[in-house]
Amino acid sequence: MINVVEYQALPDMGSSQQDEKLAYKEVMKERAKTLACPNEECEKYGAIGEGNVVFRNSYGDQPSQNLFRCKWCNKTFSERNGTPFFGFHLSEEKIVQIIKCLVEGNGTRATARICGVHRDTVTKIIRRFGTHADQISHLFLQNYPLKECQLDELWSFIKKNKKISQP
């Protein structure tokens, strides 16, 4: 004879959380269709929308900290790869806040105090974004027919931070 134990089903506490995760995975599945494999040795390098990139998982607590995988070469890459945000644990909002403080003329130490980060972090952000801005400038401003340009207002800021931004 088999004893059947009656039990009361517990309410599903995590169903809304599970629904959120499923919805997030669906959004990331759509996001994967807009990405290309960054591995230059891959057959599908640079190919967007061919179904070769799939969402793997997220890391950190930021919405742009997602890992994707190329089905052809099996390489995993971050959504932040190739951006100046890559490698920072700070949120993009916090990094933008730091950049805004610097643009307003605050020094490295003052920016660190205002934003609640270490001054070395501010210095790393200056270097990373400075390098990125330099690359963008070289890409877009080659053979540009410029006749006259005035940058007097920015000179004191650039001169002041020149030592920090050079690697």
Local mean pLDDT, 10-residue blocks, the chain (167 residues): 40 66 82 86 86 80 77 86 82 91 92 94 92 86 74 54 57
What is the pLDDT at residue 136?
86
What is the pLDDT at residue 157?
52
Closest C-alpha among 27, 31, 85 to residue 53? 31
Q: Are 62 and 96 a contacting pair, CB within 8 Å? A: no
* Phi and psi, residue 134, nearest 5°: -65, -45
Q: How far is CA 90 from the centre of its chain?
A: 9
Euclidean distance between the first and final Cα of the chain, in Å? 79
**Domain range list for the chain:** 22-78, 92-142+152-165
What is the pLDDT at residue 112?
94
| pTM exceeds 0.85 for this model | no
* Phi and psi, residue 76, nearest 5°: -100, 140
What is the pLDDT at residue 82?
79
DSSP state, 9? P
What is the pLDDT at residue 4?
41
Q: How many beta carbons lie within 10 A of that of residue 116, not counting itself?
A: 9
